[in-house]
Structures are given as structure tokens and as C-alpha cells.
A and B are shown apart, each in its own frame.
Chain A
């Protein structure tokens, strides 16, 4: 079975550019999560979708960040404009319900210069 698929694996871009991260959850999973991981702050939940609807976006740092889930098999996390402090590894995870173990994608390593 395919796991959670994220793209791109790596992204290097200059500050001010728009960045779009993509995620395909495991088929049949109803809950999708976007996380950001840094050495300083660890793994932080950014936003959680259930049945394609954003339920909790309290972790989204600011208006520069937005996330969508247009259907059950695809989600995007967009940063516009990007800043150097956004450099981190961004993980997408999915599960059947929010209290079940989450399955993570390989992550996107984002570097903003």
C-alpha cells in the first residue's frame, strides 16, 4: 500500500517567493495533518482537516500560511510570501480518526534564502 506521499522532497527558494507543498494521504484516511519541525521548536501541528474540512488551524503561524484540501486525496500548504524563518521540514500525516496513530509522509525540506 502506498503511504502518505509528499512533494517536493526538497525546496530551496528565495525569500518573498511563493512556496506550495503537496500531500496525498493514504486512501481511506479521513484526517489529514500538516506539521512543521525545527530543532528549536520540535514538531508543531499547523492545521488539521477532517473529511476535507479544516477543523483546527490554530497552529498556522500567520496569514502568510494557508492550507487547502479540495478532495479526499490531495492537500496543499502554501506560504506566500516566504521568509527565511519558514525554513523547516514540513510533514503531512493522515489517519482514520484524529485519535488513531498518524502515518507520516517523508516530509519536505524547505530552505528559504
Chain B
């Protein structure tokens, strides 16, 4: 079992829709979590950190659920430019940050 798991998708949504991704992690001692965005043929870029209390940045909201060991990313009023792969990051058993396989989002007109 992978230590950080994501549904690969793709999630196909219309413009303006709200979409949410979950990411499960197996290391209950994980302290740091992040969401990255990766565009086609580009490098991953940090989208936002995930705090215990949850955090919001514009149309993006990240949540952490320690009891069920998952983090989530909610995108409201999705734009065509949100189309990308979203990677979650947590810790593996060796306390190294490890990336999930990514969830692909396609926003259509």
C-alpha cells in the first residue's frame, strides 16, 4: 500500500463547479502536509500548506482530518486554468515528505 494515496482521476467538471479531492496517508505521525499543482510538462509547484485548523486561499480550501488520516482540497468556482494534476504530500514511515500519485483535474467550458 502506498503511504500517500490519491484517486488518479481524471475529474471532469464544468467551469464554475466545485470539486474536491481527498488524499489518504498511512503515517499517523505525519506533521506536515502540502498540496502541489503540476501542469502538463512542467514542474510541481506548491499550491498551499495544510494546517490542522484548515486553511483557505481564495477559491481553494485545504482541510486535514487526523482521525481518518486524510487531507482534502476543495476548489470553488473552478476555472479552465485550474486544469492540472494536483499532488498531495505527507510523510512516509521514514519521516520523509512523500508525494501521492496525483489527481488529474480537467475543467471544461
Task: Show the binding face of A for B, using Cβ within 8 Å.
Answer: 42-43, 45, 48, 56, 91, 98-107
Contact = CB atoms under 8 A, between A and B. Distances in A.
A105 B43 contact: yes
Contact of B96 (A43, A45, A91, A100): A45
Given A45-B96, A104-B43, 5 more contacts: A91-B43, A98-B97, A99-B95, A99-B97, A106-B42
Query: Chain A CB within 10 Å — which of B43, B46, B89, B95 has the most?
Result: B43
Contacts, number: 38
A35 to B, nearest CB: 8
Query: Chain B CB within 10 Å — which of A43, A48, A102 has the most?
Result: A43
Given A56-B94, A98-B96, A43 B43 contact: no
**Interface residue tally of chain B, by bracket?**
20 to 34
B43 A106 contact: yes
Contacts of A101: 34, 46, 49, 89
21 contacts: A42-B99, A42-B100, A42-B102, A43-B101, A43-B102, A45-B98, A56-B94, A56-B96, A98-B96, A99-B91, A99-B95, A99-B97, A100-B32, A101-B34, A101-B46, A102-B97, A103-B46, A104-B43, A104-B44, A106-B43, A107-B43
Contact of B44 (A43, A48, A99, A100): A43
